[in-house]
Structure 1
Amino acid sequence: MTTYDDATSPVTLAGRRAQEAAAGLATLPRAVKDDALRAVADALEARTAEIVAANAGDVRRAEEAGTAASVVDRLTLTADRVRAIAADVRHVVTLPDPVGEVVRGSTLPNGIDLRQVRVPLGVVGIVYEARPNVTVDAAALCLKSGNAVLLRGSSSAKGSNTALVAVLRDAVAAAGLPADAVQLVPGDTHDSVRELMRARGLVDVLIPRGGAALIRRTVEESTVPVIETGTGNCHVYVDADADLDAAVDILVNAKAQRPSVCNSAETVLVHRDIAAAFLPRALDALAEAQVTVHGDARVRALAEDTKATVVEATDEDWATEYLSYDLAAAVVDSLDDAVAHIRRWSSGHTEAIITTSQAAARRFTQRVDSTTVAVNASTRFTDGGAFGFGAEIGISTQKLHARGPMGLPELTSTKYVLTGDGHIR
C-alpha cells in the first residue's frame, strides 16, 4: 500500500534512496558491516572537535530559550561523551550479527526443509527529540542489522545532528557501503514529520523516542507501523524486609545518578513497617543529592527532623515523569498496595523492589507488568548497553514484536525459507 503525500517531495525521495540502500545492506556479510562501523567510530573520534562545536551552538540556543536543565543535559555533547558514543559503536562491532540466524527449523514429514530466519526490517524511521547520541546509536544498530535509517531529530539539535550525520555518511561511504543507508529526514517543520509518518510502503517501521506528546502523536498519526517507546515513570518499592543500607544507596542512585533519563526513578513507595526507620535516612540522603520530595501525609510527618525539602504530593505527582531532581514518595500498607499503586500509575517501563525476602521478590516480579522488574538493583540498569545489547534503539513499552531495551534482534523480522526437491502439493 502506498500513501505518500507527494511522490516528488524531499522526504519521499529520501525514502526511495533509503529503500535502495537497504536492498544492498540486506545481503552484506558481517565483516563488511563491522568494518564500516569501525570506520564510523574512528571518524567520530577524529572529528570530535567539529561535532562538539556544532553542538555548542545548539546548547547555547537552548539555554537562551530557557530550556529545562534536564533537556539541555540530554542535548549536550562533550568530547568525553563523543568518545563514549564511539566506544558504544565499537561494542556493536563485537555483537553477533542477527541477520541469517535460524530462529527455528525442521524437516517436515514430506521431506521439505523449513527454516525461519532473521532478516532486516528494511527502512527504519526514527523520530526523536533533543538527544543527538540517538543519531549515532540508531545508525550503528541499523547498519549492523542490515537496515537503512531515516533520522528525524528535533530542530533544537539540528546543528549536532547535521554534523554527526555528515561524519557517519562519509565514514560509511569510505567503507564501501551506500551513504544513503544513513540520512537525515529533510525539512524543519512538522510537515516533514507527518510525511515520514505517512510513508507507508517506503518506511517499514517508525520508532519514536522522546516525551509522551511525541510518542502519542506518532502512534495516533502514523500509517507506518510504529514500535511504541514509552515514558519512564519508574518506581522503587522498599519492602518490609529490605536491607536499609542497600535501599538508601539504590534509591539515591535510581533517582539522582542521572535524573534526566527515562530509567531514573520517579516514585518511591515504602512499606509502613520500616517507614520510620528508613525514611529519615533516605530523605537526608536525597537532600544531599538536592532532590525535592513530593510526599504523602505519612512521608511528610516523618520528614520533620530531616534536611529534606518535602512538599505535598498530588495525583499529578504520581503520574509525572519528572526527569529532574524531584521524587514522589508514599508510605504503603503492604506489598500488594505497592503493586496496586504501580499498576495504576506506572508507564510500564521499570520497577524495582528492595527486599531480602525471596517470597516478596517473587510475588512482586510476578504481579508487576512492566518491561523490566529489578530486584535489589537500581532502575538505571534498564538500558541496552547495561544489558549487553550495545547501544539501544529505544525501550519499547508495548507488547508486540519487541518489549524493553531494543537491540539488534529487535531490528529484524523473519522469513520462512522452504527447500524442497520437486515437491508439489
Structure 2
Amino acid sequence: MNIENEVRELALRARAASSEVGAASAEVRNAALSAMAAALRAHAGEIVEANEADMAAARGKGTSEAILDRLMLDEGRVEAMAAALEDLMRLPDPLGRVQMESTLYNGMSLTRVSVPLGVVAMVYEARPNVTADAAGICVKSGNACVLRGGSLAARSNEVVARVLSEAAASAGLPADSVCAITTTDRAATDALMQLHGVVDVLIPRGGAGLIRHCVECSRVPVIETGTGNCHVYVHASADLAMARDIVLNAKCRRFGVCNAAETLLVDEQVARAFLPDALAALAARGVLVHGDELACACAADAGADVRCVAATEDDWATEYLAPEIAVKCVSGVDEAIAHVNRYGTKHSEAIVAADEDAVERFLARVDAAAVYANASTAFTDGGQFGLGAEIGISTQKLHARGPFALDALTSYKYVLRGNGQVRAS
C-alpha cells in the first residue's frame, strides 16, 4: 500500500470511530481518560526508553538544545501528561450544551446544541507530550483523532499513541478513536492534508515552515497555531525591579516555548537606569543580546559578561527559541505599539507600567491573542487559563484564538421539534 492509501485508510478508520466517540456518554469518555492516564503511568518506563532512543538520534543529528528540551520525556513529564488527562476529566462536558433555545412563530421549538467536529488531525513537531494532550482533548470533546508527530519523536509518539489507543478501547471506546501515522515519510503529511470530507479539521503545531505549509497546501480546514515573536515593553513609569523579574521569567523560564519573550522594548528615558541591571541578569542565564545602539551602550555599562551584538532588521521579526533576545529602545507607548503590531505574530504581548493610560492604550491597541499588563507572557497556556490541556495557541481570529482546547473542537447543530408543521409556499 502506498503512503496516500495508507493514510487514507487510517483516516477512514478514525472516521468510522468518530460516530461512536461522539455518541458516547460523558461518563464513558471520562472513563477512557482515566484509563489513558493510568496507562501512561503503567508504561512510563517503556515511554521513557523510547524517548531516550529519540533523544540519542536527535543529538546525533546536531539538534538544538531548544528542540531537545521540547523532545525530552522523563518520568516527571510522563506524570504531567497523565495528570493533564485527569484534569480534563474534571472539566465540564463540552457536548450537548444548549447554546440557545426559542419557540418559533409557527410553534416549533428550536435549540442549538454543541456537537463534536468529527475527525481532528494534528500535525506537530518534536513534542511527544502533544500526542497525549491531543488524544485526551479529542476524546473529551467526542472527536476521533489522527496524529502525525514529527520524525524526531517517532519512537516516543508510536508508544504513547499505542498505549492511549489500547486504554481507550479498554474503557469502551473504539481503538481507532486515537490513530497515529507512524511512518516518517514526509509524504504522509501532505496526504493527510488532502483528505477533505474525511478529516474535518487540521491543526498544525510547530515551526513557521510547517504552519505555513499546512495553511497554503491543505484542502482540509486549518486552525492555525502561530509562532511566538512575543514582546515585553517596559514603560517609563514601570517599577524597574518588577520589570526585570517579568523580563527574566518571560525570556528564561523556558527558551524553546512559543510564549517566551523574544524582544524587549524599553522607553529611552529609563534605558540607562533599567538595561544594565536587566541585561546583566539575562547574561547570567546565558542570553545573547541583539541590541540597537542605545541598548548596546547600556550592555557595555553592564560589564564584560554581557554579550551584545548590533541588531539587524531581521532580529525584530525573529522567534529565537533560544537564549537570545532582541532589545530596542523606543520613544514611548505609541512607538512600542507600532513596533509590536509590525513585527509581532499576534501571540502574546506585555507592558510593564504604572501609568494606567499607557496600560489601557497598549491593551486596547496591540493586536494579539493575549495581552498582559504587569505580568509575564509565560502564562499564555491552556492550563494556566483554566482550560485544561491545550491543543494549541491560535493566532488567527476565526473559530479559535489564543490557547484553545475543548470548546474549539466542537461545533453546533440546530434541533427543531414540531407537531406537524409544514411551510407554506
Q: 2:355 aligns with which of 354, 357, 361?
A: 357
Report the Cα offset of residue 7 of structure 1.
11
Q: Which residue of 2 aligns with 1:380?
A: 378
Looking at structure 2, the residues matched to 396 and 251 of structure 1 have their Cα atoms a distance apart, in angstroms, of: 23
Q: TM-score, normalised by structure 2?
A: 0.97
What SS is found at the alignment partner of 2:23?
coil
1:175 to 2:171 alignment: yes
CA positional deviation for 1:341: 0.5
Partner of 2:414: 416
Instruction: Give ranges in structure 1 of 5+ residues lacking alignment.
Output: none
Match of 2:234 in 1: 238
110-119 or 191-200, which moves further after superposition? 110-119
Q: Which digits, 9 at most, give the CA deviation of each residue in 1:129-182, with x for residues without a partner?
A: 000000000000000000000000111111000110111011111111101000
Matches within 5 A, 1:87-102: 87-102=83-98
Which residue matches 1:76? 72
TM-score by length of 1: 0.97
The code of the aligned residue for 2:48 comes to V
Using the TM superposition, give the Cα deviation of residue 6 of structure 1 relative to its aligned residue in structure 2, in angstroms.
Answer: 8.2
Contact 1:139/1:182 (8 A) holds in 2? yes
Matched, 1:107 2:109: no
Tell me, yes or no, if the aligned pair for 1:11 and 1:186 is still in contact at 8 Å: no
Letter in 2 for 1:350: S
Q: Which amino acid aligns with 1:385?
A: G
Q: Which amino acid aligns with 2:364?
A: Q
| Corresponding position of 1:27 | 23
User: Runs in 1 of length 4+ with deviation above 4 angstroms?
Assistant: 5-8
Equivalent residue, structure 2, for 1:67:
63
Partners of 1:230 and 1:182 lie apart in 2 by: 25
Confirm or deny that 1:117 pairs with 2:132: no
Corresponding residue of 1:393: 391
The Cα offsets for residues 232-269 of structure 1, whole Å up to 9 and x where unpaired, read as: 00000011111111100000000001010000000000
Superposed counterparts of 1:286-325, under 5 Å: 286-306=282-302, 307-325=305-323
Q: Which is worse superposed, 104-113 or 140-149? A: 104-113
- Supply the AA of the counterpart residue of 1:60: A
Distance across 1 between alignment mates of 2:238 and 2:368: 21
Deviations 1:3-27 (A, max 9, x none): xx98981111111110111000111
**Residue identity opposite 1:329 in structure 2:** V
Contact 1:10 1:186 in 2 (8 A): no
Identity among equivalent pairs (%):
53
User: Displacement, 1:304?
Assistant: 1.3
Cα deviation for residue 109 of structure 1 reads: 2.8
Q: Could you tell me how far apart the structure 2 residues matched to 1:251 and 1:218 are? A: 33
After TM superposition, give the deviation of residue 309 of structure 1 in Å.
1.1
- 2:139 is matched with 143
- What do residues 334-360 of structure 1 show as CA deviations (whole Å, max 9, x unaligned)? 100000001110011000011112211
Are residues 33 and 236 of structure 1, via their aligned partners in 2, closer, same or farther at CA, if it must alter by over 3 Å? same
Residues 132-211 of structure 1: matches in 2 within 5 Å? Answer: 132-211=128-207
**Are the counterparts in 2 of residues 7 and 13 from structure 1 also a CA contact under 8 Å?**
no
Residue 85 of structure 2 aligns with an amino acid whose one-letter code is: V
Supply the AA of the counterpart residue of 2:319.
E
Contact 1:255 1:266 in 2 (8 A): yes
